[in-house]
Structure 1
Amino acid sequence: MEVVPFRTPGLGDQTFLLVHEGSGVLVDPQRDIERFLDVVGERDVELRLVLETHLHNDYASGAEQAALRTGAELVLPAAAAAAYPHTPAFHMEDIKAAGLTVRPIHTPGHTPEHTSYLVLLDGEAVALFSGGSLLVGSAGRADLLGVKRARTLSRLQYGSLRRLVALPHDVELYPTHGGGSFCTTAEAGESTSTVGAEVATNPMLEIGDAERFADEMLGAPLPIPAFYKHLGPANTLGIPPMPPVVVPDITWSDLGRQPEDVELVDIRPREAIATGFVLGSTGIEYADDFGSWTGWLLPYNAPIILIAEPAQDVRGAVTQLAQIGIDSVRGVLRDLTGHAAARFELVKLPEFRRRLADPAAQVLDVRMPSEWAAERLGNTVERFLPDLVTEGIPEELDPKREVLTVCASGRRSTIAATILKRAGYQPVVLDGAGVADLLP
């Protein structure tokens, strides 16, 4: 038996392909299923089962389409009540396939219907696909469905973790959510573990009382990306196949024929954005988390025009957006001649320090609240990046003076700079360094 992981770094998630004697089981596939099916084909594997651990809040599922493409049996938690054909997985009712046994274990907490899958080979428990329940060094958060349900789900998560750690300690652990995911209670490990290793090291398992466990889970929750609220319902109703990832090049005259609510998203490197961008566009330089920031900051599924360098490949950007259910990219602009009049300063650490030393300097920190709690600059205005969009620019900032803008690396500050510039402010971004580098 072999388990092949497929990592999606920008979302902090993993899909798994279990291969045994020429048959396969695919667990929690994301929407871009070709990367999974290519491996299935390369290894001459017959895909027998597609398993979903829960109705995902953070990405559009590819489970239904993978099952339709391959003829595999689609299995979802019995309580998911999805609106498309599937086999419901009931607690402890074994599913036989691929020469092995898959045993569903109801593990509510991350979501009410959440189900983990224990794999048995020749009657021996060998692998656990734990989805958003037991994670490496953490546990799946229980507040994604709202504060009214969060405490009840937290208590259920406490019981679910104890159900799982009662399994043999040598069982391999394969969680869907990992490092970088906003579906985790705290920073999770990035890959895999064993049940025994988690019993020995996972701090969430050291809490011996359900109420204290709920207190810990809900005490300092991470923000919830805005696009999450759209994906649970979408995954319940069914996700259409991936759209084409090749989009047409358009001209400025074509732009005039786009809908009034079209959003311009500049995916060029930050150096290019800083030296000239289209006022009103949002600068989100392309990286692993491009899709997440775009889905968080822009109106969900608004029509999008990408702005890219002449030779820049935009297929990755379109793929990341499709992974969170955004199929609204209408084209790409590559010639900014005469239109890239907006600019901001991008400076390195020594120059930023020099300006910070001015007693009149105004500083904007756009990191997350949990980052502020860990490390704070003095005399700083704090506003988390997405809140610049939903709550506006802090009133304390004077648009007539430069705004020294900081995060942890310059990535989020660059995005913030394009938002600030749109509102008439004069941002100066610390590039390649962050708050930690500014502290004594």
Structure 2
Amino acid sequence: MGPLKLIPVVDEGLGNSTYLLDLGEGRALVMDPERDLRQVRAEASRRGLSIAYAVETHLHADFISGVAELAEIDGATVLAPEVGHRGFVHTGLTDGQSVDMGRFTLQALHTPGHSPEHLSYLLLEDGDLAGIFTGGSLMVGTAGRTDLVSPDMTVPLARAQYRSLQRLMDFPDTTPVWPTHGAGSFCSAGGSGDRVTTIGAERATNPLLQVDGEDAFVDALLGTLGTFPEYFLRLGEINKRGPAVLHEQPRLAPLSAAAVAALIADGAQVIDARQPADYGAGHVPGSLSIPFRPVFATWLGWLATPDRPVVLVRSPEQDPTDIATAAAKVGFDTLAGELEGGYPAWTQAHTGTEEVALLEPGQMIERLQAGETVLDIRQSGEYAAGHVPGAVNIELGYLADNIAAVPAGPVIVMCGHGERAMGGASILAGSGRTGIAVFNGGPADWAAATGNNVETGTDPAAAK
């Protein structure tokens, strides 16, 4: 028996790990695959493996699942919880059921909490426990959040999560733990940057396993929950019904400036994927700034409207297939296309453009001395950890619904680096606000430039 050939494929943007397991005899198992299967397939191909099994721990809310495509295109057998029945062919498993895969056996372990149907999977190799795929149950330094189903289920699921984690603690300390959700995932209730762990490490260090009893666990878990993207509330149903199989990589069709203008007149939304400095220097009026980076899919899903056509504006060096594939991960399957020639093509056809000033620390200091307002659009936990004194906190995901809560007059929008801040500035501009600027940095940059300390604590008037 050689070493276990388990290859994690990490999506840093969504904060998730998909696992590719070499089962031997040229076959592979894929655990919790996302819709973007390029890297998983590349890893399998490199090892001469065909994907025989596509397995899910639960109905995912943060991404469109790839199991339906692996079934239809690759011929994989889908294994998933029997509860929460999917609308496509799969093998439903319940607690204690096993699937013989030759040298390996996969055994279902019901661990509700993150979702009611959640299964973890024991991986047995030649009859011995090799590790546990814990999905959204036990994670590194935390556990899966329990507020994604409905408000009335949050506490009951938190109690179920407590019992599930206690059940997992029955396994030996040396047992490897392979979670799906990790650092950067909105499905996680806090946690560390590590992706894998062991039962013993979690027993010793996981804060949620150090509390005394179920009630204390519930309080501790719920106390770590921040906000989450609203698209989480619709992707679960898509995954349950069965997402459309794309068959090929999504593409961005070229659109002339005239065609884009016509689409805008008919209600299309323009997403500008260029970097903040490029957007600030000039952009299509009314466009929404979401810079293309690892977290692009999350912010597109949170800020864009799924039932309106989407037109992309990108820089020449940005890969249109990567952008379209990222959009498809959160359910934007069919994009109207991209502005052919990029932003320069727009300026050749239209005189109406917009700009947003990007401020360096010295410029920001001058504006603050003139009495301008700072709008910090980071998550409330980030804001509480340190912010510019007097800054107003409205999280980016809720800004569009709370424009009225932004103080009147010129506004300096800021986050940690500038990417989210430019998104906030674009939302304000789209609402008709003027006098908007973006700070090219974060609270630490402001503190270094001024020699002052940041403030800590939440904004009692923060809108959500």
Normalising to structure 2: TM-score of the pair?
A: 0.90
1:390-440 CA deviation, whole Å, 9 max, x = no partner? 222425222xxx212111111111111112222222122111333674351
1:13-412 alignment, distance < 5 Å: 13-22=16-25, 23-242=27-246, 244-258=249-263, 260-333=266-339, 334=342, 335-337=345-347, 338-339=350-351, 341-358=353-370, 360-398=371-409, 402-412=410-420
Give unmatched runs, 5+ long, in structure 2.
Answer: 454-464
Which piece of structure 1 moves more, 243-252 or 138-147? Answer: 243-252
Q: Which moved more, 1:373-382 or 1:340-349?
A: 373-382
**1:89-136: CA deviation from partner (whole Å, max 9, x where unpaired):** 111122111421111100000000000001011221111110000001
Letter of the 2:346 partner, please give it. L
The 3 A distance-change label for structure 1 pair 46 and 421 is: closer
> In structure 2, do the counterparts of structure 1 residues 436 and 141 end up closer, same or farther at CA, with 3 Å as the change threshold?
farther
Cα distance in 1 for partners of 2:40, 2:257 equals 38
CA contact (8 A) 1:24 1:98 kept: no
Kept in 2, the 8 Å contact 1:59–1:324? The answer is yes
Mapped contact 2:415–2:441 kept (Cα < 8 A)? no
| CA distance in structure 2 between the partners assigned to 1:175 and 1:121 by the alignment | 19
The 8 Å contact of residues 275 and 419 in structure 2, kept in 1 or not, is answered as no
Given that 2:403 and 2:428 are in contact with CA atoms closer than 8 Å, whether structure 1 keeps it comes out as no
CA contact (8 A) 1:170 1:196 kept: yes
How far apart are the structure 2 equivalents of 1:223 and 1:432?
23
Q: How many residues align?
A: 436
Which residue does the alignment assign to 2:458? none
Task: Give per-residue Cα distances to partners, 1:252-303, cap 9 Å, x unaligned.
Answer: 1212443722110111111111111111100111111111111101212421
Deviation at 1:54, TM superposition (A): 0.1
The residue aligned with 2:6 is 3
Within 1, Cα distance between the matches of 2:80 and 2:121?
11
Instruction: Give 1:247 shift.
Output: 1.4
Deviation of the 1:356 alpha carbon? 2.4
Query: Is the contact made by 2:104 and 2:126 (CA closer than 8 Å) also made in structure 1?
Result: yes
Q: Does 1:424 align with 2:433?
A: yes
Q: How far apart are the structure 2 equivalents of 1:340 and 1:106? A: 58
Q: Which amino acid aligns with 2:318?
A: Q
| Identity over aligned pairs, percent | 31
How much does 1:379 deviate? Answer: 2.0
Kept in 2, the 8 Å contact 1:132–1:140? The answer is: yes
Distance 2:224 2:131 in 1: 32
Please tell me whether the aligned partners of residues 61 and 235 of structure 1 are also in contact (alpha carbons under 8 angstroms): yes
Q: TM-score scaled to structure 1, two decimals? A: 0.95
Query: Hey, what's the Cα distance between the residues in 1 that align with 2:276 and 2:167?
Result: 47
- Conserved in 1, the CA contact under 8 Å of 2:414 and 2:441? no
| Range that drifts further, 332-341 or 68-77 | 332-341
Deviations 1:56-110 (A, max 9, x none): 0000000121123232221001212111111111111221114211111000000
CA shift at 1:203, angstroms?
0.9
In 2, the alpha carbon distance for the partners of 1:38 and 1:271 equals: 34
| 1:356 alignment partner, SS class | helix
Residue identity in the other structure for 1:19 = D
CA RMSD of aligned residues (A): 1.8
Structure 1, unmatched stretches of 5+, are none
Post-superposition shift, 1:34? 3.2
Residues 277 and 339 in structure 1, CA contact (< 8 A), matched pair in contact too: no
Distance (Å, rounded) in 2 between the aligned partners of 1:231 and 1:395:
31
CA distance in 2, matches of 1:69, 1:128: 28
Q: In structure 2, what residue type is equivalent to 1:383?
A: I
Write out the 4+ residue segments of structure 1 that deviate beyond 4 Å after TM superposition. Answer: none
Q: Structure 2 counterpart of 1:343, which letter?
A: E
- Greater shift, 181-190 or 85-94, is seen at 181-190
Cα 1:330–1:339, aligned 2, differ >3 Å: closer, same or farther?
farther
- For residues 193-217 of structure 1, the C-alpha deviation after alignment (integer angstroms, 9 at most, x for no partner) is 1111111211111123111111112
Classify the secondary structure of the residue corresponding to 1:116.
Answer: strand
Q: Distance in 2 between matches of 1:120 and 1:342?
A: 60
**2 CA distance for matches of 1:419 and 1:395?**
12
Q: Secondary structure at the match of 1:226?
A: coil
Partner Cα distance (1:340, 1:170) in 2: 63
